[in-house]
Every structure is written in C-alpha cells, then in structure tokens.
Amino acid sequence: MSSSSGFYGSAAQSSISCDAWGVARIGNINAGQTSDNAFGVGVSSFVRVGEGEYLLTLSNPERYGSGLWALMYTREQRDDLTSHPHFGTNYVGAVGQTFQSPWSYPSTTQAVNQQYIGNYRFSSPAGTSSLSGGTLEKVDGPDNDKVRLNYAAFCFRGDTYPYVPVVENLINYSSEMTNWTRNANDHNLSLSSELVAPDGSKGYVNVFYEGESSATDQRWIYSSYIPFTPSASVGTDLQNRFITGSVYVKAGTRYRGRVLIYDLSNTFFGITFNLNTKTVSSTTNYATLTKSSIRHVGNDWYRIEFTGFYNQNATTAAGAGIPHANRAVMAINIADDSGNLVYAGLRKELYVWGAMVNFGTFAPDYSNHNYAFDDRYDYATGTTSGYLTVDGLIRGRQTDKIVSVPGASGYGITGATYSSHVHNTLMSRQITAYGTLVIPGISGENVGGAYVEDMYNIRNYNGVSGGKFSLYDIHFGTTMDNENYCVIASLETEPDTFNESPTSPPQLDEFAFVQIRSGLNGKFKTVNSFRLEILRLNKKIIDTAKGYSVQQTNERRDRAKTDRIHFMVFGGKNTYGAP
C-alpha cells in the first residue's frame, strides 16, 4: 500500500453544480425490504415499481421541463465479498443502469422530472452454472442495503428563478442581428469588436446605422419568425397570447427609435423610445400593449421591456385588421432626433444588443440564443428542424417548457413532493471533490504506480493490497462533515485492439464496470475517504468456460493499458462553498 506525493495542489473549481444528487437503496423485496432514497438534495422519491425496476423522482420539476437533462450514476456495493458473484449466476446482483420508459411522454406514469432505473444481473441458463448463453435479468437487490445507486442529475436549462417556469429566448440570432432582415439598403448593421455589451463581453454589440445623405425612408430590421407553431399544446393561435419583448439599446449618434412585436403586415404592439429623456411610449395596431418599461443597466445601456398581445387572429393571410397566423417578429427602428421614423439619413448610429422574445408577461434575464433552431434534431419527424418535438425518445418538448409547472398537464405525479428548494440551497448542489485516478499500464505488483491527477479537495489515494489493482481508497483533502455524499465515477481507458477475428470475442475487459465498493455497512465510504473498484468483464462469460462475468483482474495493467477513473463528489458538507 502506498501513495503518491504532491497531492495538495487542488485547484478549486467548486462552482460546478448539479441539479440534484442522492444515494438510493435497492433492497430485496422478497425479504420484505424496501427500496428508497437514503439521502440527497433535490430528490422527491425513489420507489420500486417492479422486479429490478425503480423510479426516481426529482423535486423542482420546473428545472426539467425541457426533458433535456442527464443522469449520472454509479453503483455502490456494500459488502466484503472478495469475489463478485453479484454479477454472476448464484447471487442476485446488480449493475446500475438507467433506462427509459418505452411509453411516450407525456405520461401519467413517467413525468419529465423522473427517470427509471434498472437493476440487472447476468444470469446463466437454467440448470447450468455457465454463463454462456445467459441473459440479463432485472432483479431486486441481493439483501438489505447491499446495493445502492449514487446519482446526480444535470439539467441544462435555466433555473435562475426556481419559482417561475423556465423561459426560452425565442429569437434566433439574438446577439448577431446582422443575421436579421433589413427593410431597405440605406441602412445596415455591423458587429463592433470594441464596444462592451451589458454583460461585459465584446464582439456582439450591433452598430445599427443609417445611410449617409440617404433618401427619406424608414430604417428598420426584423428577426426571423418566432418559432412557436409545432407544439400542439402551444398551438398556432397568437390571439390574446401574451408576448414579451426586450432589448438593450445605447445611444450613439442616434438615441431614438422603436421596438415592435410585429406580424410583418399590419398588426403590432411595442414602444417608441428616447434615450435622452429615458422614456418609452406605446404604439399598437390591432393589438394591445399591457406594460412597458425602460431602465438603466449601466454604462449608458438601457433595457427596454414590453408586453402585449394581438387582438385578433386568422388562419388566412392578412387582411385589414387581421394578423397573419403564426407570425411574430421583433422589429427595431432607428428614429431621428425628433422621433420621426421616416427621415433622411445622416450616417448616424444606434447600438443594440441582446434581443429577447418570450411568451408570458415578464421579461426574464437575457439568455443568449445566437444560433439557428435547426441545430437540433427532431425525432418526431426524423429531420433537423427548428424544434425538439420528441415523442417517446426525449421526454418533453422544447416549447412546452414555458408551461412546465408542477402538477399541470401531466408534469406532476400524484403523491410526489414538488416543493421547490429555496434558492440558496443551490449551494448544497455544489461539487465537493473531484479528481482522476490514473492506473497506469505497468506490469508488476506495485500498486503505488497509480496516482490521482487534476483533483479538487482530494489528498491522495491508497491502493488496496490484494485487489489486483482494482481497489483504491480516495482520500479527501479536508474531512467531510458527514458520510452523506454521492460519488459519480466514469471510465476513461486505453482501447484494446480487436485483433482477433471478427467472430471471436474482443478484449471485453476494456468495458470495465467502475463502482464504489463501500463494504459492509459502508465502512469504506467515510468522512475521510471512499473506495473505488474497477471490475472487468471476463470474456470467459462468452466462452464455454465457467467464470464470473465480472471480476477484479490485472489483465489490462499487464497488457500496458492505462485506465483513468474520473470521479466527482456531491454532498458530505454541512456548510458548502469551501472544501
């Protein structure tokens, strides 16, 4: 047993956070044991729903409204067995694995903030101890609290305001308005490399300028259509639907202008603005403006926000007073010093940044949306399109996020807890340690050849003797306050060459299972350290020979193959923010 030196150089990156984390217990129901969640943050429940099937429900469902969140998970084995029959024939075992319901979403059985968990074992054919020809089975845990699931959920959509629905900026190229459309040629936009935007960045301030000595004309730009049509729950009818627009403006040699939500025909609502007087005025046609504001945000930048709705709608092309169905763009004008929208240009300019349009009545913090919607793949149609309308495969719909409130429209599950955590408990979602355990491919019996690299709050490791280079205790830099933490591990490995014939088994031990080996009653998962175990698939399982399907082995090391185990830790602290 040995340890490497120089492990105190942890680079703090503690602001990494997840949305929820926890540790669930998988019991043996045949022995009257239950499965539940042991501890965690942002977790509502963990329940058994069938043999080897469990359902994890996360709190704060508004976070998961897009359906686009990832669940990282690692199995934890809590016994002292030296072999690993858990994965084998005679003992009920488990490999943590998430899976997804084949039922389409939305469903009354799986909500957007839920994830099914499968618990598998390798099973031999009946009447034989050989695993060859065996199958996978979903099974419950082997005994009371011998298998746990460590998990952490990452949701990548906005939850700055935990109490409000998630809102998405519906404008394409919200910062590069050079991609917007101009109504004529006597004005243009360019991106300034020097001007500083309200968020402190450079490179995306749009210089909106008029032509010099140009003819009397109106100078305005407009975005592409706001994409809201594909989702049936959102619908195509804009009538009486609140839309909020917002944009940052700064005076150059021009300081007046107009911002509209507009159907490009004759229906619009919006404001005219004057940055000298810091005022806005309503302007509408066949629409209603319900509120508007202008506020200074610093460095002479002003954010204009306004909300309104169309008064009518139609499914036909526009006529008098009838807006085009499905049409809304943001349009921005420059005006002259008198506020005239139609005037002769003098090559003067106005600065614009950060346009945003969203449904609803409030303007959230600006979120950049500077890409085309067709970057996303649409499983419903099998094409790339502007929307993520995914049935069955990815739960949730991009555009539905705006209504993904707890308990509504199938997003909630009866009996589950949906109480939101207060904002500052996000701290308890911060990462408390991370690192990479490197197991170099060196033959021999010196476990000290391994080391930890690029870590945070990790002091060192101890290779565990007798573990065939498969057991490693990872020590925290600062002792945890408690043992209630989860560890997520993921393998990076040097690939095996598949130099056998295509019909022969490859070196399956490239596909190792990494787990936490916490031992009986969790004695190896303490406030000081936790134990990682790397188990290789034994290719014998596909031969006729007997053998455990998963085992500790030094084969890869002896073949000079290096493994890396990345790990991250959430929880374990009473006070967060520092290790």
Q: Which of residues 422-451 bind other proteins (CB under 8 A)?
A: 431, 434, 436
- Site mask for other proteins (CB under 8 A), range 17-56, x = bound: xx----------------------------------x---
By CB under 8 A, residue 16 contacts other proteins: yes
Q: Count of residues for the chain?
A: 579
DSSP 8-state assignment for residue 240? T
Of 360-399, binders to other proteins (CB under 8 A) are: 364-365, 367-371, 375-377, 379, 382, 384, 388, 390, 392-394
Which of 3, 132, 282, 326 forms a contact with other proteins (CB under 8 A)?
132
Least separation in angstroms between residue 35's CB and other proteins is 17
Q: Which is nearer to other proteins, 212 or 365 (CB)?
A: 365
By CB under 8 A, residue 541 contacts other proteins: yes
By CB under 8 A, residue 494 contacts other proteins: yes
By CB under 8 A, residue 98 contacts other proteins: yes
Least separation in angstroms between residue 419's CB and other proteins is 20
CB atoms within 10 A of CB 451: 17
Which of 95, 111, 331, 447 forms a contact with other proteins (CB under 8 A)?
95
By CB under 8 A, residue 131 contacts other proteins: yes
Which of 289, 330, 331, 488 forms a contact with other proteins (CB under 8 A)?
488
CB atoms within 10 A of CB 185: 9
Tokens of 294: 């202008």
Q: Count residues near other proteins (CB under 8 A).
A: 90
Q: Which is nearer to other proteins, 33 or 119 (CB)?
A: 119
Least separation in angstroms between residue 563's CB and other proteins is 9
User: Cα dist. 196→274, 278, 327, 332, 419 in Å?
Assistant: 21, 21, 33, 20, 40
Spell out a b/e string for 154-177, using b for 16 or more CB atoms within 10 Å of the CB, else e. bbebbbeeeeebbbbbbbbbbbbb
* DSSP H or E segment with residue 297: strand 287-298
Q: Name residue 249's beta-bridge partners.
A: 302, 352
User: Cα dist. 515→76, 417, 479, 519 in Å?
Assistant: 6, 30, 22, 12
Which three-class secondary structure state does DSSP give residue 438? strand
CA count, 13 A, side-chain hemisphere, 394: 21
Which of 79, 337, 454, 555 forms a contact with other proteins (CB under 8 A)?
454
Q: Which is nearer to other proteins, 98 or 282 (CB)?
A: 98
Of 546-565, binders to other proteins (CB under 8 A) are: 549, 562, 564
Least separation in angstroms between residue 187's CB and other proteins is 27
Least separation in angstroms between residue 329's CB and other proteins is 20
Q: Which is nearer to other proteins, 191 or 508 (CB)?
A: 508
Residue 121 amino acid letter:
R
CB atoms within 10 A of CB 425: 13
By CB under 8 A, residue 493 contacts other proteins: yes
Q: Which is nearer to other proteins, 218 or 436 (CB)?
A: 436
Tokens of 339: 């506020």
* DSSP H or E segment with residue 181: strand 181-182
By CB under 8 A, residue 576 contacts other proteins: no
Q: Name residue 87's beta-bridge partners.
A: none
Which of 80, 212, 453, 558 forms a contact with other proteins (CB under 8 A)?
453
* DSSP H or E segment with residue 558: helix 555-558
Peptide bond just before 106 cis, omega within 30 deg:
yes
**Residues in Cβ contact with 267 at an 8 Å cutoff, skipping those fewer than 6 apart:** 285, 286, 287, 310, 311, 312, 318, 321, 322, 323, 324
- Site mask for other proteins (CB under 8 A), range 147-166, x = bound: -------x-xxxxx------
E strands in 324-430: 329-335, 342-343, 349-359, 376-378, 383-385
Q: Which is nearer to other proteins, 410 or 506 (CB)?
A: 506
Least separation in angstroms between residue 542's CB and other proteins is 5
Q: Which is nearer to other proteins, 226 or 335 (CB)?
A: 226
Of 500-539, binders to other proteins (CB under 8 A) are: 500-506, 508, 510-513
Least separation in angstroms between residue 376's CB and other proteins is 6
Least separation in angstroms between residue 160's CB and other proteins is 5
Of 60-79, binders to other proteins (CB under 8 A) are: 66, 68, 70-73
Of 105-124, binders to other proteins (CB under 8 A) are: 116, 118, 120, 122, 124
Q: What are phi and psi of 373, to 5 degrees?
A: -65, -20
By CB under 8 A, residue 8 contacts other proteins: no
Rounded to whole angstroms, the Cα distance separating 461 from 451 reads 7
